[in-house]
Structure 1
């Protein structure tokens, strides 16, 4: 469906102007309802669509689609279906919501009112059960900023960085959905000038502004996914906050990389926005600065113009927007990330999470972490209540937003939100 056709789509439900969820978005999530039931859901404007009940009504059908794909606790079974089925479901949802003669508009009112529910009456849960989670390090600006702080500008990027997407294997079990609050983590910290570490709650708690993609099932073990077919194995995208305890991480990360400074929690937005919905917002990313090995050479527009924002809200205060960035700044695109991840034959599963790494731009207000925004604590950030931050304090709420805009087309991902709670007494 081209941009003009999308622009002319009119939903028979009332959709607020500039809603994150117009009829050409239709993301997927998992909702729990007031009667205790749960279902795969989609969202249109201020309404939640119960896909299990819609399927049971007989109005939503596709080859191979059965009730369990919508009635499960997570979306993994649905994601495991072929891409053609997902596209068929999407086309049918658009038809049901734009054509008054397609069956949903004229459905019995009691049944329809259970299928289409106010979003205030639905609690959103973690949409997938991630079997694995990989965190990339794909923003050149972020990598250069961090490298400059700790190694100096002459050694800002490691020798391998411009040749391949760098990543580490994260902790899938501690990925939580938006509005899940997290306690400040404990760990070993080496105080400045000390020879031995102390055991303490982190004093340098940070957010990391990221996006992540959710995979379909990949090829069998031993068979790599090629860069120009990688999008066939990507279901959709979420906002991703990869919380970081910088002081814990600094002491532990050599020689094997991130561990306790990262695995205490990562937060994702509840809605998975499909690549089909993002299609009108394709664009080119940065050009490679080094000749790439053939398996990483991609063709065409392989990234998306997704605008990103981060707010910090102190307790009972107004928000302060501390960062404005864009997904298109990433040096390594998703196709290159997935091709590199599987080039050795590594297999991926339906529902795996692949995070981008912190997304920073060139401007100081586009840096995607407090480490960069405060430049390792030397440039405090002033908030709306007059207080300053170099890292996050207990009671601070971090809200991340992602949205796309092109001419009259607009869609969003909702919010990725969490509040920092005090460390648990040890």
Structure 2
């Protein structure tokens, strides 16, 4: 898997992966990197595989039965990956059962596999790494290099040949030779693209049109055993849970199956999922985050004012000054900002006029306002001053008579920007009027 990160935005591309551990490799794993886009293959978008142990048991049983009746077994594979897993499986089984039928592998591929597995031994599972100290698990005792002439040898044998979809190469040549004998068997261990020989025989086609309009009758047994390197639907969903992406993009799959998986992803994870066709451009909107360093003094003050730290997923309003310096952002208290920047402090105040219907005198109306606020704002400092004003924290309230209506009063509210929330609350409260029965 590959992660590309530019600034605060990132993309993860999975390539082919499998969430089930193999005999030679561990399960795919990713940390909770929360990428903006996770690009995942979706070859088996609607498939959920059965137990791997059951598949291995069925695979060995089918191979053994074919060998016992004198048949030949062709296993089309790709060069690396499933081939080595199945080789280890058969090597162990042959050793345990003391079988004598030869097993062959396409020439050159075993040597290449050994080289790469030695080079990247830390990528294999723990059992392989432990055994590697005594012997190389990929130097097989029962599996030999294959020569084309061996295909015509009498008696049972097992051959691993490439490519894995029977669309060309050595696997197709061997298939043509063995297809007419019902004792023989071909086991397809992976996915086959539509139009390939592998796909046709898996769908039950028994007469194949070959090159030159020749017809090939398929009499051998055809078996499908999923040992693919691709993740199934359950594995794809598991990877999404691990990575927690903000957007999902599916590739390498069939449109109808991808559409089904797309709906499941959007329903379960509530994220956007895209499945562009080959050559199509997908436009994904991201919300890049901007990291801000916060002053420790400001944080302590906010904790003292607002209690313990809130849930990080819930927003919380904080008052401070944002300073941008040398491509970094820092949130500090206004006092610290003035000191760092060498600026003078200016006071900003808001003023609001509220019309109020009250037939009493101005002093009586002000006293009624004071009484009302005392009953509503229990935890605030409220003062009725001799100069004819009411103070709530930094908020000043004055009363004057309306020139148009003798029963109307005009309340003048003034507050500093620090008390903006409280000032807005008071203006809304007083616009509703004073409750009847106030003294």
Bigger radius of gyration: 2
Bigger relative contact order (CA 8 A; separation at least 6): 1
Q: TM-score, normalised by structure 2?
A: 0.20
Q: TM-score, normalised by structure 1?
A: 0.20
More helix by percentage = 2
